[in-house]
Every structure is written in structure tokens, then in C-alpha cells.
Amino acid sequence: MAGKGRRIFATIINNAVCINFFNIIIIIFFTIFPHVATSEPRVITPFPAPKLMDLPQFQGEHKESLYWGTYRPQVYLGIRARTPQSLIGGLMWINVKDGKYKLRHVCKHEDELSTYGWTKHNGRDFGHQLLADNGINLDTKFFKYKGEHSGYGGDWALRIDAQIHESKLNEELERGAQIFFYLADEGGNVLDINMENLNAHKGSLLASGSRTDIGDWQLHLKSMDDVELHYSGFHTLNFHNLSDLVEENLASQIRRHDRVQLSDSLDDTPNVLVFQIIREFPLTTDIVLISGTGSESSRVEERVSNLTGTSLSNQLKDKEQSFDEKFEKVFNLAEKVDSESIPVGKAAIGNLLGGIGYFYGQSKIALSSILNLKEQVNILSYWPAELYTAIPSRPSFPRGFLWDEGFHQLLIWRWDIHISLDIIGHWLDLMNIDGWIPREQILGAEALSRVPEEYVPQHPTNGNPPTLLLALSDIVSGLNNNEFTATDRSKISLFLDRAFVRLEAWFQWFNTTQSGSKMNSYYWHGRDNMTMRELNPKTLSSGLDDYPRASHPSGDECHLDIRCWMFLAADCMYSIEVLLNKETKPDKNYGSTAKLLSDHDLLNQMHFDYAYGAYLDFGNHTEKVELKWREVKVGYNHTARKLVRVVMEKPELRFVPHIGYVSLFPFMAKIIPPGSPILEKQLQLISNRSLLWTNYGLRSLAKTSSLYMKWNSETESPYWRGQIWINMNYMILSALHHYSKEDGPYQDSSKALYKELRSNLIKNVVRNYKDTGFLWEQFEQDEGKGHGSHPFTGWTSLVVLIMAEAYGKI
């Protein structure tokens, strides 16, 4: 460096006749240290490689075919395009409960719908959804069509059928169905309303406008019966509170005129139009958006006719039949499950695909090592980015979660490899220069409005299980087994080739930032070692949140699950390297890393407790920790009674004696040799009713654990402390299936456990869906009842792969 500095200095002096000495020094400094000249912190600097989404396979026809969709999963029915400032559409309706009018729009548990969700959705141009709201039943069908005269992305239609159960017909609902459909332009473009048609009820045209992406467009409404129409137009750039605008308008009308109808008025330059459709039950109406209407040959009337009435009915019928045929072709369930299970499987994949969303915004990044609300942290904004992704749950988690997404893709790649690669590509393009990807994507005002403030900032020291590699490993296995066409094989290979540098950076980020103090050990960073409110500091980065870890977080921890994730990641990287004929680099020998991390003896030395007969975490731990009520100082002169953490014994480095999902990770990763006595011990843990086994699936934490079903704080109920989770049960089933095929002394017992566990899981998910109308986030252990968020059609949708016995390489 010194020699280089002298050469640069001499060059500058020779050319610096008119430059003063101070400027010379500044130039020297930034020439020798060029990275200092860019003031952008590394954490918000994009990864310096070509983006996946710039690949030709994601342009042209592919991009246009996915332009429009039901990409607003946070509302009961929302349509948008995959562009940052889209034309967006949505559905609202009114019900009456306890004498009060209730406007439905955003998915909420407190609305207490008896069921809602997509019974079928192909992820592209068709979806069928049922919404049952206390006697009002809405049947909605989405259809997209690209014709010769369509603008970019094509046209779309929405059919709404509204009916009411006779027992629910009351005075407030005698006027009939009150349905609202809105169209809004996020770019602020003015929307033109067709007053003549609205006032005279002539023609179908409701509104029109123009955009650079789709050209001129028109919105039409056709109903099989006469309907009463009202409207309101608003100007706003806050699209996350459209419900408030409608509620305020209706409330004003009720106060002034004692009627529940929109004001038939417009703000200046409205970019939001809301149409109220009123008719006695039953009601059937078709709403159509026609793009590219500016030319003389656009044939608008013909296209509207094609997307309404009998013509639309026939096309919807064809799409539904195509969905059924594809479902059976992909998953082949007819001979594997009973007829009662198949509609549940269709709803599971339909809800997963129908829940795919498009988001745009900037993540908030906290430059702090722990999540601590009292700590003053520096918040930075990530670069503006888009994300096309599936989501775990429409009412609770309508946004992207990194470790959930890998499980989602185990299903989606089998259904549509092009959608799957598009989603994975979007996630990998979110990587920063260090190889880090924020684990939770809270993009845009609509997403921000749904998330508690303390969970918004993402911490760049914290990871999340690299489950996207599970899906990629599966896809590579499919390539090796010739499961794709020649064209798809070529596209997948090009994708993997461009993705490889990002995957390497991601792997290296984990391998360096999450490594432990012991050789080949790892631990999840981000636990709060200063907490006074948590019984056991959470490990959010692991995905298992409140699963018990060492009582006192430290750099001496060794977490078993991340060690196994690193093995699976290395194994996947090696399989991609071999597939692409990549040269093995000495400092990035994935094959050797996978072999080292799967060494059974080394794993046992670090994580197997022979006294417990189980694999366990290691760390600074004591069991003598409790939550106790104490008077706690609040502010300057006040105290309040709070539950606080009380440690009654000095912790020591030891195995953490909690048996549960983490204890089974070497089994899930198939590291244990089929003839090992330790495999027998793992099977005993699985089958022991006093530990993990229930009639509904394996519980997350053994009943013998001191933290079994314990609250973690005054406000945090147990989450991963006993409840049954489908994603982990799927991985355990995959391992049982594997060992049932391996010669050895435990083959038969593995087969018996596999058969019984698979049956229990399917029966319980199907029973809950039939009883409640939902797939659930988790299931309780005593009666198997669904618990937590619903509908939860993220990884609970893996029940389809359980039905299909499709485990791939996982």
C-alpha cells in the first residue's frame, strides 16, 4: 500500500500546478481508499452482479403474461399489475352485525368470516374464491384474457355472485346486497367517470383513463339484473386507508340523509373511483377492465361481450376444468387419498397461488445488534425494490418472509416452474453487497400499516434459514431426473448460472457471520442478552421464535438447527456446482464442507447428549429462570406491577435440555446413518407420546420440557412450545420416508411411523378445513384444533405434498 501511495502521490504532484495542497491531500486519500468516497453504507448497497430479473426469460411474453393478477392478498379481493404505481382494483361489501353496519375490505380476523379463500387458482389467469360472511355468501371469479386488440397485459374480468341465507335476512339487509368496487391509480392519474351511463343507466361503461403501460383503458359493468348504482371519487395518495374514505363518505350520508349510499360526488382530479352496486339478493354482476382502447380497431364492445355473461361463464368453466386436470397431473392424488381430501388439497394450492402478491418499497434497516426498543438505533432505508412473492397468511402476514418462502416454493415449482423461478429471482435480487437478505419484507405504506413498529426494522446481523436452497435443491434433482422439457431445462440452467454468484455470497454470509466460537459450530445471532421481560430470549432469526435456547445468549452458543441448515445449504451448492460444471475453488469447496458437516461422529461430539439420548443445543444455561411479578419503575415517579425475568442460579456452559423439533434436525437432514443406534433413539423420541407424538402430528416441544406451553413474557403466549407445525412435520415425514427405503435394522419401524404420521396429519388438516373452512397456522396437541392465524395457506399448504408423497431431495 505504501508503494502504491507513493506512485499516486508523484503522479498527482506532476499534474497539480493549479491545485492547492489541501485539495491534493483529499485527492490522495480518496484515490488510495476509493471505497470511502462512496458514503453509502455497505448494508444498503446492492450486490454488484447482474440481476436475476434482467434475464431474457423474465422479459417479453413471460413478463406480460404475469402483469395483472390478484396481487393484493391483504384485501379480500384485490387486483393490481406488477409495476410500482399500478392501477389497482378491489372489492368491499356491507354486512350488518348487532345492528351496526360493517364494511368489509381488508382481511381481518375480527370480521369473523366463517370462511374465505381461493378454492382454485392457477397463479396466472384464473381464480375462484368463496367468502362467507355471517349469512352473506360472495362467490368471486377472476379471469384474465389477452386478445389481439388488448393493451399490454391484456384484459381482465371479475364475476361477483352475492346470495344470502334466508335466516339472516333482516330489516337492515332487506334493501339487498351492497357491493362496492373501486379502481385507483397509484400514479395519481385522473380517472374519468361516465356520468351519462351512471345517471341514465344506459350502456356498461363506468370509467376510463389512460396510462403509459396499458394505454387507454375502460371499466365496464354488466349485470344480469337491473342494479342501483352510486359512486364517489376521491383524490389521495394514501391507498392503505381506502376503507376509511368509503366509511367516512357513507357516515356523512347517513347523518344527512339517513341512507347508506355513496354521495354521488367527485373530488377535483379524482384518482380513486368507488362504485356502489345495490340490488336485492341474489345478485350477479360482471366487472371488466379493457386495455388498449385508444385505437379505432380496439373493438371494445366485442371484447366486453366476450368477458361478460354467457361467454364469461363458458370460459370460467373451461379454466376450472383445466385447473382440476392439472392438479391431478401434477400431484396424482386420486389413488393416494380419499375423495374428501382432494378439495382440501385444491384449496391449499389455490390459496397459496392466489396469495402471491406484488410489493414495492424500501425496507427499514436497523444498525443495531439486538432488538431492543429502549436502544437508540440508526435506521436506514434499503434501496427501492420490488418483490413478487407468496405470503404466509392474508390477515396476519400479507408480505414476504424469507424462510417461509423456501417452503412455499417446494409446492410452486412443481405447479409452475416459471412462476417459482420468478419469485426466487426477486428474493435473490434483494441481496446486499455482503450477501445478506432482509428476512421480512415490509414494503410500501400498505404493508407498514399492518406491522407493529418494533418489528419493522430489519437487523443486518440476523439471518433466517436459507430454505430457498431446499427448493433449488429439489429443482436440481428434477433436472438430473429429466423431469423438465428441453426448453425449461435450458432456462433453469441459465437461471442457476446467473444466481450462483449470489448463492455463493449468501452461503459465505452465513458461514462467516453466524459461525460460533468452536470449530464448525454456528449460532443464530440477534438474541437479546439484556432482556428483563423474556423467560427465554427469543431467536427470531431461526424462524422458531420462542423455541427454548440457552437461557443466557452468548458467543459460546452452538445451535444444532443452523448447523444442519448449513449442511443442507452446502449440499445444495455442491449439486448446483456439479450440474453447471463449475470449477471448485479451494476456499469454497462445498462438497468438502457438506461432507464435514455431515460427519456423524463430529456432530455427535458437539451436539449429542448421551444422558438424554438426544441431540441438543449447547450454551450458557440454567433451568432456574422464572417470570415473577415485581414493582417496576415506569417513568420518573411511577411504578407498575410487571412480570420480570428472575435468574436464581448462575448459568454454566452445558447442553440445553429441551427436546423438540431442534433435536430432530440431524434426522430431518438425513445425516444419521441408517444402521446407527442413534437413529433408533430418534425414532423413539418421535413415537413417544410423553414427548412429541400426538394423534394429529408431532408437537414442537416435548411435554417434559420445563418451558412446555409456557408464556415467554407478560404479552407473549407460547408459539413454538408444543404446537404442531406442518412445515417441520413435512421435513420429519420426508426423513421417515427416506429411512423407510434404506436397508437397515430400523427400516420397518421408520415405515410404520411414516404411514401413521402421514395419515394423522392429513386427517387432521382435512377435518379442520371441513369444520372451520380454513387451513390454520398451527394445531394444538390435545384435540388437534386449528390455532393461530387463518387462513394460513403458506407452509400449511405442504399438506398437498404430504398427500402426494412428494418429498424430492429435502
The grid coordinates of residue 574 equal 455442491
Kindly write down the DSSP assignment for every residue of 665-700, as one continuous string: HHHHTT-S-TT-HHHHHHHHHHH-TTTT--BTB-BS
Identify the CA nearest to 398 among candidates 443, 437, 365, 366. Answer: 443
Identify the CA nearest to 214 among candidates 295, 275, 140. Answer: 295
Find the helix packing angle between 417-428 and 486-513, rounded to 10°.
30
Taking CB atoms within 8 Å and a gap of at least 24, the contacts of 573-579 are 573/469, 573/503, 573/504, 573/507, 575/473, 575/476, 575/477, 576/472, 576/476, 576/496, 576/500, 576/503, 577/500, 579/476, 579/479, 579/480, 579/493, 579/496
Q: What is the dihedral of CA 290, 291, 293, 297, to 10 degrees?
A: -90
Chain centre distance of CA 699:
23
Find the helix packing angle between 402-415 and 342-354, rounded to 10°.
120
d(CA 279, CA 201): 14
Catalytic residue among 545, 599, 623, 742: 545
Residue with cell 351519462: 196
Q: Are 94 and 277 in contact (CB under 8 A)?
A: no
Catalytic residue among 125, 133, 561, 777: 777
d(CA 727, CA 709): 19
781 backbone dihedrals φ, ψ, rounded to 5°: -85, -25
Amino acid letter at 120?
Answer: K
Kindly write down the DSSP assignment for every residue of 573-641, as one continuous string: HHHHHHHTTPPPBTTB-HHHHHHHHT-HHHHHHHHEETTTTEE--EEEE-S-EEEEEEEEEETTTEEEE
Residue with cell 422458531: 544
Neighbours of 677 (CB within 10 A): 11
d(CA 774, CA 279): 30
The grid coordinates of residue 562 equal 443452523
Neighbours of 307 (CB within 10 A): 25
Residue with cell 373530488: 267
Q: Are 47 and 435 in contact (CB under 8 A)?
A: yes
| C-alpha distances in Å from residue 85, one per residue of 277, 361, 800 | 27, 11, 35
Identify the CA nearest to 76 among candidates 389, 326, 395. Answer: 395
| C-alpha distances in Å from residue 311, one per residue of 286, 307, 318, 325, 358 | 11, 6, 11, 21, 30
Catalytic annotation present for 301: no
d(CA 159, CA 224): 11
Q: Pairing mode, if any, of strands 265-266 and 228-234?
A: parallel
Neighbours of 35 (CB within 10 A): 7
Catalytic annotation present for 296: no
Identify the CA nearest to 603 among candidates 652, 549, 544, 558. Answer: 558
d(CA 58, CA 45): 24
Identify the CA nearest to 249 among candidates 237, 265, 238, 235. Answer: 265
End-to-end, the C-alpha distance of the chain in Å comes to: 48
Active site residues: 545, 777
